[in-house]
Amino acid sequence: MKKLYPFVPTLFVSALLALEFTVGSFTGDRDGKITNYGLHNILFWSWIASLFFLIVFYTFKKNVIAINVSVFLLLWFLVELGAFFIYQYKTQNAETISKSPSRLEMINLKSDTFEIETSHRLIVEADENLGARLKPNINIRSRMYVQSESADTIYSVVYQTDSLSRRTTSVKPSEKRDFYTLFFGCSFTFGEGLPDSLYLASKIEKSYSVHSYNYGAGAYGTQHVLALWQEKNIRKEVLEDEGVGIYTFIDDHAVRTVCPLGYFWLYNSPWYELDGEQVVRKGQIHHRNQGFKIWYAQNSYLAKLVGYEPYKVTEESHKLVAKMIESAFYQYQSQFGNDHFFVLIYPNQEAAFRKYLKNDKIKLLDYSKLWDKKEHENYILKPSYEGHPNEKAIQKIADTLRVDLTKYFQ
């Protein structure tokens, strides 16, 4: 009887596979597979694992090390199997109890056909330096709505860009005014969910003889701001001689600099690291070393279950953000001949990079306490669905910014 012990795992899993095939033939899509939680695949690979154990046992049955290694691998597989079921249960349960997700639709108003896109494909294009950039000369209607029976509209706006891939403002690109204002940052700067006349760059134009140039784009981080400055002479794209540059910072920019595995949309983004005190461009994010820990984090359900992440925000990350901001400032200073470069810290952001910012000429606009955290939901487009700033938030920031910039526009 003891001679049959090694066959027990294989026989047991084989019986489960046969049971699954039988039940699957009378339920579901009748293909002989029960697909909940990927059960067929799990049982199949369990069968392969048990077969592997059986082969190792009879091949190296007198080799204690080989047997121990095979038992360890089998136990590891079983732990991963258990983690898979728990992870699937948790994620599916979370989806069940969460509110309905929002849905995005974009329509190309320049197209002769009624083209609807459910991603940002119509407004962005691949770029070797930045990973992605806004397409030039677009005219796109973007609508986001709650994906439920009510289909409540969260926003419906038109996005337009000029020939240099900058989102347009209330001032025509060819109109020269007394001062310039350069805006850099992510979708908060771009004006996600707001029409041309209501986002920050346009609001500033209404108080002064200012021409705003918006270089912000969705998903951008500090590394995109620096890469943009290093790519070209922005001075040649600005009509006015005097003005200011503003980079709007949110805490997620530090996360984007690190680019955790879940931020897959940033894999083509610029990759910078510190070499001592110097910021060095290493290539794109996807050029990073892909060792075993990365493979394991991407493929292990146990790693997903315990939240293992090889790329985490550390103090070194905040230091890198500060150094990239300083590098962007030097580029601005070199191209425009002044030091009127500001970092606007968006409300309710920690901005941990500040303690590493050594250049006193870089001016911080600390709006982190502009409104109380308890009131934050009053300043976003739609709580639980869309967290970008609403018109109320932009108006409050614009009113504060006007006061802070008055002396630069006289």
Average pLDDT of the chain to the nearest whole number: 84
Q: What would the two tokens of residue 158 be?
A: 């038109």
Looking at per-residue confidence, does 231 or 37 come out higher? 231
Classified as helix, coil or strand, 254 is: helix
CA distances from 379 to 194, 202, 402 (A): 13, 18, 19
Count CB neighbours of 342 within 10 A: 21
Mean pLDDT score, 65-83: 72
Amino acid at 124: V
Q: Is residue 145 scored above 90 in pLDDT?
A: no
Among the ranges given (230-234, 294-298, 384-388, 395-399), the one the predictor scored with the smallest mean pLDDT? 294-298
Superfamily of domain 165-409: SGNH hydrolase (3.40.50.1110)
Residue found under tokens 């962005």 = 124
Number of H helices, E strands in the chain: 11, 15
Q: Is residue 141 scored above 60 in pLDDT?
A: yes
Q: Residue 164 burial by CB count (10 A; 0-12/13-18/19+): exposed, middle or buried?
A: middle
**What's the CA gap between 226 and 230, in Å, rounded?**
6
CA distances from 69 to 61, 74, 77, 315 (A): 12, 9, 12, 39
Q: Is residue 33 scored above 60 in pLDDT?
A: no
What b/e string do you get for 113-129 counting C-beta neighbours within 10 Å, with b at 16 or more?
eeeeeeebebbbeebeb
Looking at per-residue confidence, does 291 or 158 come out higher? 158
Among the ranges given (92-96, 150-154, 190-194, 341-345), the one the predictor scored with the smallest mean pLDDT? 92-96
- Helix (H) / strand (E) element for 106: namely strand 102-108
- The answer to whether 245 and 340 have CB atoms below 8 angstroms apart is yes
Distance of CA 135 to the CA centre of its chain: 19
Q: Is residue 70 scored above 90 in pLDDT?
A: no
Plot region of 289 (φ>0 → left; ψ -120 to 50 → alpha; else → beta): beta
Residues in contact with 202: Cβ distance below 8 Å, sequence separation at least 6, in sequence order: 169, 170, 191, 196, 212
**What's the CA gap between 221 and 218, in Å, rounded?**
9
Plot region of 337 (φ>0 → left; ψ -120 to 50 → alpha; else → beta): left
CA distances from 111 to 137, 138, 139, 158 (A): 13, 10, 9, 14
Residues in contact with 14: Cβ distance below 8 Å, sequence separation at least 6, in sequence order: 47
Among the ranges given (44-48, 201-205, 215-219, 224-228), the one the predictor scored with the smallest mean pLDDT? 44-48
Domain ranges of the chain: 2-97, 165-409
Looking at per-residue confidence, does 274 or 20 come out higher? 274
DSSP 151-162: --EEEEEEEEB-
